[in-house]
Amino acid sequence: MRTAYRTGDRGVLRDVAAIGAAMVAVGASFGAVAVAAGLPAWAALAMSVFLYAGGAQFMAVGLVAAGSPLAAVLAGLLLNARHLPFGLALGGTLGQRRWQRLLGSHLMTDEATAFALARPAGPGRRRAFWLAGTLLFLAWNAGTLLGVLAGGAVGDPGALGLDAAFPAGLAALLLPSLRDRDTRRVALAGAGLAVLATPLLPAGMPVLLALAAVVVPALRGRRAAGADSVPDGTAPAGSGKKDGVAPSGADDAGQVVRAGEASC
């Protein structure tokens, strides 16, 4: 039930290719922007190979061009801190061997993580991670090279609507896991927190703040337990998953609709 995309490896390949195509275009835009901002071509290529994190790369180019290299490092690292919890969640998905974990870690992006976690744990999830990780790495770097070579000839990815492609893809990959009530509540609360915090906090922080939402089911569970006049303390934290009082069907449907709104 966890995957709406009940497809085999070939299906994953096709889905990754759709995001990969968008990544080539955005990578090309990065290469062109970097060169236009005065960075040497090797720097743009080195960033895409060794840093391999789109958001931080665009940010770094902007801040370096503005003459704030230290801010570029700090802001980029803050933006990428989310990879630590991603790594915790993926864990052994990358493979049993040490080199698989060391190499796979570098291929970890939001999209590769989403493609992996959209599949049930096991060999299928590992193949999805490596397929997405490898293909998207190649797409991003091929795009960067194109952009560096083509320079100003690269069009604006915004005109192609590609900035809508990534959140839509992430949301679509996430949707099946939102059928689980607790996961849905946490994800919605996290998304809401992050959006509300975006005007107030530096980039990267709002998304990290979403992690705080994992306490939501525990809170609901405790409240439900209280409503059932179970003495306080008998419901251990995290027990909300099983003994939380089931809401009416209408409430559930409302949650689902809000899921749609929140992730857009």
Q: Compare residues 142 and 209 and give the one whose CB is closer to another protein.
A: 209
CB of 215 to another protein, least distance (A): 10
Q: Which of 24, 26, 132, 210 binds another protein (CB under 8 A)?
A: 210
Stretches 135-143, 202-210, 224-232, 244-252: which one binds another protein (CB under 8 A)? 202-210
Window 123-182: residues binding another protein (CB under 8 A): 158-175, 177-178, 182
User: Does 230 help bind another protein (rule: CB under 8 A)?
Assistant: no
How far is CA 172 from each of CA 19, 34, 257, rounded to the nearest angstrom?
Answer: 12, 31, 14
Window 32-61: residues binding another protein (CB under 8 A): 39-40, 43, 46-47, 50-53, 56, 60
Stretches 71-79, 145-153, 223-231, 244-252: which one binds another protein (CB under 8 A)? 71-79
User: Does 260 help bind another protein (rule: CB under 8 A)?
Assistant: yes
Cα(149)–Cα(31) distance, rounded to whole angstroms?
Answer: 8
Q: Compare residues 146 and 190 and give the one whose CB is closer to another protein.
A: 190
- 257 and 235 in contact (C-beta within 8 Å)? no
CB of 140 to another protein, least distance (A): 14
Q: Which of 36, 82, 243, 255 binds another protein (CB under 8 A)?
A: 82
**What does the radius of gyration of the chain's CA atoms come to, in whole angstroms?**
21
CB of 172 to another protein, least distance (A): 4
CB of 3 to another protein, least distance (A): 11
Q: Compare residues 67 and 229 and give the one whose CB is closer to another protein.
A: 67
